[in-house]
Amino acid sequence: MYMEAKNVKFTYMVGSPFEKTALQNINLTLEPNSYTVLIGHTGSGKSTLIQLFNGLLKPTDGSIQIGNREIKRDTKQKHLYDVRKDVGMVFQYPEHQLFHETILKDVAFGPMNFGMSQEEAEKRAKESLKLVGIEEGLYERSPFDLSGGQMRRVAIAGVLASNPKTLILDEPTAGLDPQGKEDIMELFYKWYEVSEERSIILVTHHMEDAAKYGDQLIVLEQGGIHLTGTPKEVFLQGDRLRKTGLSQPETVRLLESLKDKSKGHIDTLKFHLNETVDEIVSFLRKDQ
């Protein structure tokens, strides 16, 4: 789904002594079927921006376009509700939102809120649960009986079940072990690939994931856009990234350091382990 931010500004607690501007001069377009990655430190405005993109917040100034709807500061609450139907959000530690007595009911909560019949919602819920790898035998169990990793999967299914066109992921792998992290990231990619209607906005601290999955990267710094472009364009600018305390993926850092030390011809913009190793091998085997 096409999304755009036009001259967006966002200020918390307008008119109080605690007023604080979180975002300013934000201009962005997110093409349909894109995988966008937002990077930036805590407090850079990332979480405000994603909340604007699914109608949890309204801009103080400027406008947000989501599909063919526009959100401005005076947009009615009811229209925001419609936006949330199309834009799903997986918050950090999403397992904290589970509440229903059974897993199936919990997952069906979203679709039913968005007006599906119970039968249809449960059908959707089952599909989503299957996608995230929760076995059928567990559907009637309480979500609180599950392990931490399984709870997270159920919570994710609860968002996918509403069949959003755009999925916003706010550090969805925080606190998981390495295998769990990889599995979850792959799961989202699989969901994304299924249809050309689907887009993802990922917020992450992991440059490796940003490089691996993103086709557009947006680096936020103190409420403004610091850098934007494809992973290759962004990660070429190591110095500008480091200035904000961020870094390149470890593959790029290794290759850059090797290039600096050896003064050899090396293409440093490799994001996958195998590519990186191939680049090293070809460097090692090349004649001087």
Q: Which of 98, 129, 200, 269 binds another protein (CB under 8 A)?
A: 98
Looking at the Cβ atoms of 15 and 196, the one nearer to another protein is 15
For the CB of residue 187, give the shortest distance to another protein in the complex, in Å. Answer: 17
- Closest approach of another protein to the CB of residue 180, in Å: 7
Report if residue 189 touches another protein, rule: CB under 8 A.
Answer: no
Nearer Cβ to another protein, position 25 or 79? 79
- DSSP characters for the chain? --EEEEEEEEEESTTSTT-EEEEEEEEEEE-TT-EEEEE--TTSSHHHHHHHHTTSS--SEEEEEETTEEE-TT--HHHHHHHHHHEEEE-SSGGGG--SSSHHHHHHHHHHHTT--HHHHHHHHHHHHHHHT--GGGTTS-GGGS-HHHHHHHHHHHHHTT--SEEEEESTTTT--HHHHHHHHHHHHHHHHH-TT-EEEEE-S-HHHHHHH-SEEEEEETTEEEEEE-HHHHHT-HHHHHHTT----HHHHHHHHHHHHH---------SHHHHHHHHHHHHHS--
The encoded tokens of residue 218 equal: 């947006």
* Residue with Cβ nearer another protein (7 or 264): 264
The interface mask with another protein, positions 1-30, x = CB under 8 A, is ---------------x--------------
CB 182 to another protein: min, Å: 8
For the sheet with 69-71, list strands across it.
20-30, 3-12, 61-66, 69-71
Residue closer to another protein, measured from CB, 89 or 225: 89
Phi-psi map region of 228: left, alpha, beta (phi>0 left; psi -120 to 50 alpha): beta
Q: Which stretch binds another protein (CB under 8 A): 125-133, 220-228, 231-239, 246-254?
A: 246-254
**Binds another protein (CB under 8 A): choice among 89, 202, 241, 252:** 89
Return the number of the residue (7 or 282) whose C-beta is nearest another protein: 282
- Binding-site member from 24, 36, 163, 276 for another protein (CB under 8 A): 276
Q: Does 131 bind another protein (CB under 8 A)?
A: no
Q: Closest CB to another protein among 42 and 193? A: 42
Binding site for another protein (CB under 8 A): 16, 41-42, 51, 54, 56, 77-78, 81, 84-85, 88-89, 91, 94, 96-100, 109-110, 112-114, 144, 147-149, 158-159, 162, 174-180, 182, 205-206, 245, 250-251, 253-254, 257-258, 261-262, 264, 273-274, 276-277, 280-281, 283-285
